[in-house]
Structure 1
């Protein structure tokens, strides 16, 4: 590397949020697109990982963020999330252009001398939707690029859909699969007429996770369900699936999306969807 003018000496390693050039040069992807889809479809979303060197950089960055904002949650609430507006803060950018989402934010940002003051989101109004779907009003949504993406190929965007509206809801999650959804989360795929990689392919992909020490016996997932249970889980994720299909047009994009189960959620009480999107 270096002969094409993109080597480490040309792209110095910085601190704080990484740039796309830094990701390409200093944190090259550990996973292929097929491996990513296999991990998503495996039943254990904990297999999805960030580059370990990038994770160390994140940990250092997080210390400074906590000092300034009080917590990562406050940072998200007070600064990073752009409710009802396009993401103008990302260093990574996206090929997807949002339009028609210029509605006012749910609340104004607080002054800079109060950044560390804990602040909850205001209560949802009585007419707010019961659960997240394709028709959720934009003022309840913040779509941003993951500033600290997982180790995805360079042609894959890692986007986060944050929403104030619940994703897991009793009206969607049948009681018979509630424990399964709470352990495994939800996931799906769009933009491809072929089925996603079978979980049976996972053993061939596990070497890519060797540096994280992941083995089959360490996986956390439910036992294989019946066809009826699988359909109930699919229906529980259908509103998210339809939202993803509407934003990432299937003629142009292939995606793998997932919603972490509660045990893996970084901000309890504030739902978000991960979307890996690959332009065709």
Structure 2
């Protein structure tokens, strides 16, 4: 099937990376996009922020439960800024992986390929880092988007790009222990997780999962995302 031509364009004056839907400027070629756009991305880029509908908790539960992750969307202005940031970061650092390793991930991890303390994902706390997502999806205000980065490979099915059944159980158990159990009674109703299929990942070289939490005190989130001594060199 022939791909739909990309309709995203860049305004060449003042800000060469500002993404707009204007038809008065040159179109970006598909190969020049900072990451592949989903159909949802293309639709969002045709909207204004006022037209955008934020994902609520029930909708997210349905999306994650059916593994329909391609429909997750960022707010239009956030998606445009994200595309701009990705393009500028790749120009400055060569890749987003290089930027993340220099500025966001633990210095103790060193360089790729990593040598994890454990070959089992999330088994050793020095092998993962819990951070707020710098570029969250368009979520209702009570929902916080967290990313758990890991230097241990999480096995996926090569045919589908989705996690294997064994990996899914490992992630589920980790999320329960690290997040759900810390929230006490009803915690399982306030936490969800997903891992993008390989085809949907904008940062493919670094393993990570997404965790969404609802109505969680900022102090709790700060404890989850703090830097530990074993993450420092």
Normalising TM by the smaller chain, what interval? 0.5 to 0.7
Partner of 2:206: 270
Task: Tell me which residue corresponds to 2:119.
Answer: 130
> Aligned match of 2:112 in 100, 121, 139?
121
Deviations 1:43-81 (A, max 9, x none): 221111111221011122233323332221211111122
Match of 1:57 among 81, 85, 91: 81
TM-score normalised by length of structure 2: 0.61
Q: Out of 176, 180, 184, which is 1:249 matched to?
A: 180
Once the 2 structures are TM-superposed, how far is the Cα of residue 105 of structure 1 from its aligned partner? 2.1
Q: CA 1:77 to 1:46, structure 2 compared with 1: closer, same or farther past 3 Å? A: same
**Aligned partners of 1:267 and 1:65: how far apart in 2?**
12
Unaligned runs of 5+ in 2: 1-48, 217-233
State the Cα distance separating 1:139 from its structure 2 match. 2.4
Partner of 2:56: 32
- Is the alpha carbon distance of 1:152 and 1:131 closer, same or farther for their aligned partners in structure 2, counting shifts above 3 Å? same
Alpha-carbon shift at residue 179 of structure 1 (Å): 5.8
Q: Does 1:163 align with 2:153?
A: no
- Given candidates 129, 135, 140, the residue that maps to 2:127 is 140
Structure 1: 4+ residue segments shifted above 3 A: 26-29
Q: Please state how far the C-alpha of 1:122 moved relative to its aligned partner.
A: 4.6
Structure with larger RCO (C-alpha < 8 A, sep 6+): 1
Contact 2:97 2:205 (8 Å CA) reproduced: no
List alignment gaps of at least 5 residues for structure 1: 1-25, 84-103, 108-119, 170-177, 187-231
Per-residue displacement from partner, 1:171-209 (whole Å, max 9, x unpaired)?
Answer: xxxxxxx467x34x35xxxxxxxxxxxxxxxxxxxxxxx
Per-residue CA deviations over 1:231-262 (Å, capped at 9, x if unaligned) read x83x4311111111112134264111011122
From 79, 89, 98, the equivalent of 2:103 is: 79
SS at match of 1:142: strand
